[in-house]
Structure 1
Amino acid sequence: MTDPARGKHRKGRIAQVSPSADPAGRQHHQHRGPWDSEDAPRDGRLRLDLGSVQLPVPPNAKLVCEPDPTGPLRAVHAILPEGRLTVSAFAAPRTGGLWTELIEELAGQLHAEGATIRRDRGEWGRELVARNGDVVARVVAVEGPRWLLRGVGTGPAEHALALHGMLREMIRGTVVARSEDPLPVRSLLPLEVPEDVPEIFRDTLFQSLPTRPRQITSQDGPVIPMMLPQQGESGTSPGRS
């Protein structure tokens, strides 16, 4: 399937920035991942190609699509016994700094939904931890050349440590394919579900699609809100990420 999001990609060089700008790991990820498509390692790792992102999916995960009522695909979630993992890529400015804005917006939104908020620091910089009852969500982000990769791990508090370790491993192995096409800052990079999905992921993924597998050509607008699952539904809620 042809992917118009691939086209010509900007060379994956990342400008030097001041540490005070807190650019969500733009220096760090060049050596450990996640990877811009121009710099992706030839490591032989199996990744599910969703067009703008190529995800290393845990073998025991079930994949579920989250469609938008208007048609475009919002996200693909990896459902595990420990909870839910979601990795999404967004258009970002060349100068970086988008995560500095978004983390505070997310904190305000989740606090308004009743969550207890904690700000943390990880290998890519600032992270957000939200807890609502027994459900814990960790949000991390990494900025690359004109893209921001955001990962969310949501599940029961008792599995939080293991789940968030899986989230970091998925992010490290993710490849982002950002085209040269202009997109509004904060808009989701286009997603597609290929027809040749590995059999172990096929049933749940295709069943959750609004239509048969097809190319998603555009997705404009603000960052999709991240909704915490209700208590008792952790890991299986179709809430937004």
Structure 2
Amino acid sequence: MNALSQSVSEVDGFNEDTLFARIAEDILQTGYSINPAALPPTLTEALYRHSQLMSPSQFVSAGIGRADDYLKNDFVRTDEICWITGESEAGTAWLHWCAELQKYLNRRLFLGLFSFESHFAHYKAGDFYKRHVDAFKGESNRKLSVVVYLNSNWYTEDGGELVIYQNWQEEKGIRVTPLMGTVVVFLSEEFPHEVLPAKRDRYSIAGWFRVNTSVAERVDPPQ
């Protein structure tokens, strides 16, 4: 654990169990959990600073699927992403926090969460991600989605809301303003969702807890 990871709980006096318990209860009751400004302040600030200092060259155009099924599709999404590998102090602290959440949810809800992957996402003004679910075609290994926002002084008129739908037919949905430190967690396969176009740069982290669907001659999640 690096110094930043340790300070998340010690310096902030942040009670992770309170947030983790709320997320677990919400997932149990409704399948999703929306928590405004809930990420520990020290971690939020570190991730925000890191996102602002990143070079544009570190981001790549996002696509759909992975490996041989990866497809760039500007009709579906136009954002840019940078995978979090733990090479930075902020990234390491984020992965540590998510590992603690994973352990808590497995202990409380018996979800069998096996691994975690996440990336920074940058939406330029006008960028979007149309309605979709967080699961690859023919696969069911993404169990739980996590989204955290890194936008200071964000106002309703700035747009860029996440909209979570109960099903594909619903029209209104639940809108989430991408305010700094807001944490959203939901069952990956159960809730279609989209990102509406924003009027200015919008930064977030998207991540997925995955279950182990390995079979003979095929390891998944890949190591």
Normalising by structure 1, report the TM-score.
0.25
TM-score norm. by structure 2 comes to: 0.27
Structure scoring higher RCO (CA < 8 A, sep ≥ 6) equals 1
